[in-house]
Amino acid sequence: MFFQTRNAVAPQAVATKPAAAAAATTSTTTISPTALADLSAQLASAHFTALNAALLTDWWRAAFLATHKNNVDAALNAIEKTLIWRAEYRWYDLPKEKFDAEERSGKLYWHKRDREGNPVLIFRMDRHVASKTQADAERTVRFLIWFVERAIRTGLVTNRMTLLVDRIDTTVANAEGLQFLRYAGSHIQTAFPEIMHRIVVFPTSTLLYALWKVAQGFLNPRVVGKIRICADNYEAVLLETVEEEHLPRRYGGQSVDPMDEEGWQQRAAAATSET
């Protein structure tokens, strides 16, 4: 994975969606009310209470059930791992954190939706500064997790999302190495299981392709299957992913992207001041 994020664990829950709404907006699997009730009952046990399961919103509970086809035991196993990770990562601190400099960089923003109606997140690598230290990498990864978590919490992401990793005009000053990819991949696939609908990385280089071959070894096979690494044919792949009228002109579409037009820096700064 070619993104960014950081850490969280405070007893501050985010707004909980009603179970019915969660079931209606999660994946293509119809959530069984019986399975959801059974899952919630087991999450009320002493073991899961100690893991702060009460902070797991109905939306997330339905998402885990959808991922595991209403198999409660499988969902519980996945939830347990996620709750342990959230405690270690201080997930519940995320809403209180600020990433003003990262937001003003304009390297990460939402633009329109893909052909399935999922919101599209664009990561402009040419606006990113490659990590020089482990602390840099951790902050970058935490920023991405913070950015997506906020979109889920505010209702922008209600099911799945598509990520476009734009490497146009990227130089060695922007590109991340294998150590970063390993760290980012581990945390992001844990933070957002099955939420990524598709990830398109473009255009490739010989080095990136070599890194990708190695990176596949430490990513979940289901995640690997969602990633497209594109060379010179990336416009065709992007048009398969996003309707032409919704795809930015930068990528061969017709949509005007405010974050790719003159004055984008001011727009990024204004958006930061609103959060």
- pLDDT digit string, tens, across residues 10-66: 223 333 333 333 433 444 678 999 999 999 999 999 999 999 999 999 999 999 999
Q: What is the pLDDT of residue 28?
A: 62
CATH number, domain with residue 231: 3.40.525.10
- State which of 59, 75, 93 marks the end of a domain: 93
Structural element, H or E, at residue 200:
strand 196-202
Does 233 share its domain with 113?
A: yes
Domain co-membership, 162 together with 140: yes
Greater model confidence, 275 or 272: 272
The C-alpha atoms of residue 186 and residue 191 are separated, in whole angstroms, by 9
Q: How far is CA 111 from CA 105, 125, 272, in A?
A: 16, 16, 16
> Using one digit for the tens of pLDDT, what is the confidence trace for 198-252?
999 999 888 888 888 888 888 888 888 999 999 888 999 999 999 999 999 999 9
Same domain? 36 vs 109: no
Q: Are residues 241 and 122 part of one domain?
A: yes
Overall average pLDDT of the 129-133 stretch: 95
The single residue listed with the structure tokens 């907006």 is 25
Choose one of 59, 93, 127: the last residue of a domain: 93
Is residue 171's pLDDT more than 50? yes
pLDDT at position 181, please?
87
Backbone torsions φ then ψ of 121, nearest 5 degrees: -105, 130
Contact present, 99 and 109 (Cβ < 8 Å): no
Determine the pLDDT at residue 11: 28
- Residue ending a domain, choose from 93, 121, 141: 93
The answer to whether residue 31 sits within a structural domain is yes
Query: Do residues 105 and 75 both lie within one domain?
Result: no
Predicted local confidence at residue 273, as pLDDT:
67
- Looking at the fold, whether 48 and 169 belong to one and the same domain comes out as no
Q: Are 36 and 61 in contact (CB under 8 A)?
A: yes
Q: pLDDT tens for residues 80-122?
A: 999 999 999 999 999 999 999 999 999 999 999 999 999 999 9
**Does 155 lie in the same domain as 49?**
no
Q: Is residue 242 part of a domain?
A: yes
Question: Does residue 226 fall inside a structural domain?
Answer: yes
Share of the chain above pLDDT 90, in %: 72
Distance CA 238, CA 224 (A): 18
Q: How many domains does the chain have?
A: 2
Domain that holds residue 39: 19-93
Let me know if residue 10 belongs to a domain: no
